[in-house]
Amino acid sequence: MTPLWTYFARLLLALVPLAVLASWKRIYPCRRLVYLALGPAVVSVGMLGADEVFWGVMALDWLLVLAAAADLFSLPRRATFTVGRHAQRVASIGKSQPVELLLSNHSSHDYLVTLRDDVPHELRPEPAEFTLIVVAHSRAVLDYRLNSTRRGAFVIEQVHLSIVSRWGLWRRLLRYAATTPLHVYPDMQQLAQYAVMARKDRLSMIGVRRTRRIGSDNEFERLRDYAPDDNYKYIDWRSTARRRKLTVKDFQANQSQRLIFLIDCGRMMTNQVAELTLLDHAFNAMLMLSYVALVRGDSVGLLTFSDEIHTFIPPTGGLKQMNRLLHASFDRFPRLVESRYDEAFVYLGAHARKRSLVILVSNLIDEVNAQQVEKYLGSLSGHHLPLGVLLRDHQLFDALDHRAPGAEDDASLYRAAAAADILAWRRKVLSDLQLKGVLALDVFPEQMTAPLVNRYLEIKARHLL
């Protein structure tokens, strides 16, 4: 009878070439090869009681080894394929971004290939991988889309291929270098949408109201179609006769005003709403209002802070300022630290002495932060025009509006009572701010953009600056 240790020795000898292939060529056995190897293994169990089956097992072993070796040579070499990637280098957070992969087969054989792009998980590729048969001497074009959940700078460095051999016994993993930098910025597509709606005079479709100016400005800006609430004295009759459509004159303010955003990047802006953090929503609204203000000839600045001052962009006019604001905000993330409002407002007082509309975007969740916001925003009244944008929490309003089926249980009543108490405190904070001359805007994060733009247009119309 053959000693038992000889079988284990043969098994170890069989595993050595597999380990060499895996570490050197990244070639691994498929499930089919493992299942085929189970046949001789089961027969080998009988060799423990009888040596008569030894030669039968050896024949099966050699037959399997020869088939595996023959199939191993059907795997492609690295030069068989070339891979390329086409993608824009700028993307918007939460918006779909197309990517195109090019896979070329230079050999005379067809291969079953599984392809996966080396995309960071924050970019959420859809679909994540492709499985296809690449025909000999052909090129496959694969399209997928990215939907980033985080701003910042990313690099897509490689494309991974998994190729199955002709008989399906082996699988080879190949990596091809294809470096593509990708910068994910706050939502910029809303800027193009605003420009299109402004040209078509349909800003109401995105929530921007038409605000009638108090008084009049005499600097001509453009001609546009008549709207029902326009003053008849602004109708340009010569253009109306030429176009056969009522046409009015638009006038612009004859002075450039300044806006400065104070964006809180501390722990209170880490909550997520609609898969974006509160800070992401704040930057999206900031960029939209900045674009509107810059188009109207105003100057826009930005100050981001948490426990320290992160970025300060002095208020400047012109659309080139949009690039500075974008680069200052695309890689800024909320930090789990307590925000220092005192440092932020001291820094603002030292670097912004001219009267400006100061817009603080933050989230109040306790008395300490509320007192600081009330103190420092109130101190700006008179010299600047302060506007506090306070973000609502959906969980509080959902708990207050909760209706349990049938009789309400005690837990839901307690939650509703606690939510009502917090919301009453929040309303008192807003009232105190308004008594100190601070304009206040209480909005849900994902609905912040349109109310913020409308408040700016109202301030412009009333000449509060």
DSSP 381: B
CB-based contact 100:125 (threshold 8 Å)? no
Look up the pTM and report it: 0.70
| Residue position matching structure tokens 């220092």 | 340
Residue 41: its pLDDT value, please? Answer: 65
Angle between helices 449-462 and 278-295 (to 10 degrees): 40
| Residue position matching structure tokens 């188009």 | 295
Q: How big is the CA angle at 229 (ends 223 and 234), to the nearest 5 degrees?
A: 40
pLDDT tens digits for the chain (465 residues)? 445 455 555 556 666 666 666 667 788 888 887 777 776 666 666 555 555 666 666 677 777 778 888 888 888 888 999 999 999 888 888 888 999 999 999 999 899 999 999 998 889 999 999 999 999 999 999 999 999 888 888 999 999 999 998 888 888 999 999 999 998 888 776 766 665 555 555 555 555 555 555 445 556 667 888 887 677 888 889 889 998 899 988 766 556 789 999 999 999 899 888 888 999 999 989 988 998 889 888 999 999 999 999 999 999 988 899 989 988 888 889 999 999 999 999 999 999 989 999 999 999 888 888 888 889 998 998 889 999 999 988 888 888 775 544 445 667 777 888 888 888 888 998 899 988 889 999 999 988 888 888 889 888 888 887
